[in-house]
């Protein structure tokens, strides 16, 4: 069953739960914030529609409790990994001989980005061609490349945030 973020807030801010969180932190000094959130998700059943733990919602409530002085969270871990999109190291070759109409494009194909190489091509295209660059996309996401015999023609990316703008799109007539 999916638990709304407001319900996570309501549950975690209960005095007995705040005390439970303090006890967890005190009795597990090596525990990091993510592990703490995962434990709370498991204990209280904070899961989304797909059955995945609602870690980010739980972490947000924990940070709010810390800001208000109700508890002290473990120090955040240093981020590891790249802070910029992984790129090819060279520009993606421009497509050649692209006809004026879609029906004339040879072997037009939509490719789901699944490999490291495809991700680098997608990042390179968006870094160089998109006015806002390569991202980041927030939340769950899927990316596609558009390929043809003429070369890479473009790409698309969709993030879970796009699922939350249905009302806005309807009002805008989309």
Q: Which residue has the higher pLDDT, 105 or 164?
A: 105
Whose tokens are 């980041």? That residue is 136
Task: Return the pLDDT at 135.
Answer: 67
Domain boundaries, the chain: 5-67, 81-174
Of 134, 10, 124, 31, which is closest to residue 77 (Cα–Cα)? 31
Residues contacting residue 132 through CB under 8 Å, at least 6 positions apart = none
Q: What is the pLDDT of residues 4-59, one digit of tens each?
A: 657 888 899 999 999 999 999 999 888 999 999 999 999 999 988 888 888 988 99
Q: How many CA atoms lie within 13 A of 44 on its CB side?
A: 27
CB burial readout 16-31, b (16+ within 10 A) else e:
ebeebbeebbeeeeee
Average pLDDT over residues 141-162: 88
Q: What is the pLDDT of residues 124-150, one digit of tens each?
A: 888 888 777 766 777 778 899 999 999
Taking the whole predicted model, whether its pTM rises above 0.85 is answered as no
Q: What is the pLDDT of residues 85-114, one digit of tens each?
A: 777 878 888 999 999 898 999 999 999 999
Please, what sign has the CA dihedral across residues 63, 67, 70, 74?
Answer: positive
Taking domain 5-67, whether its CATH number is 1.10.3470 is answered by no
Number of H helices and E strands in the chain, helices first, is 6, 3
Tokens of 53: 């733990």
Q: What is the distance between the alpha carbons of residues 162 and 9, in angstroms, rounded to a whole number?
A: 24
């Amino acid at each position: 069953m999916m638990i709304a973020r407001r319900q996570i807030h309501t549950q975690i801010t209960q005095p007995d739960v705040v005390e439970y969180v303090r006890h967890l932190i005190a009795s597990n000094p090596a525990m990091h914030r993510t592990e703490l959130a995962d434990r709370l998700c498991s204990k209280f059943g904070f899961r989304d529609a797909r059955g995945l733990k609602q870690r980010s919602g739980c972490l947000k409530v924990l940070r709010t409790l810390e800001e208000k002085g109700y508890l002290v969270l473990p120090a955040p871990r240093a981020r590891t990994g790249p802070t910029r999109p992984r790129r090819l190291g060279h520009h993606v070759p421009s497509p050649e001989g692209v006809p004026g109409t879609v029906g004339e494009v040879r072997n037009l194909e939509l490719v789901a980005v699944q490999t490291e190489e495809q991700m680098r091509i997608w990042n390179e295209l968006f870094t160089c061609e998109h006015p806002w660059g390569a991202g980041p996309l927030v939340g769950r996401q899927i990316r596609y490349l558009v390929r043809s015999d003429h070369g890479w023609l473009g790409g698309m990316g969709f993030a879970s945030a796009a699922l939350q703008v249905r009302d806005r799109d309807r009002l805008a007539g989309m």
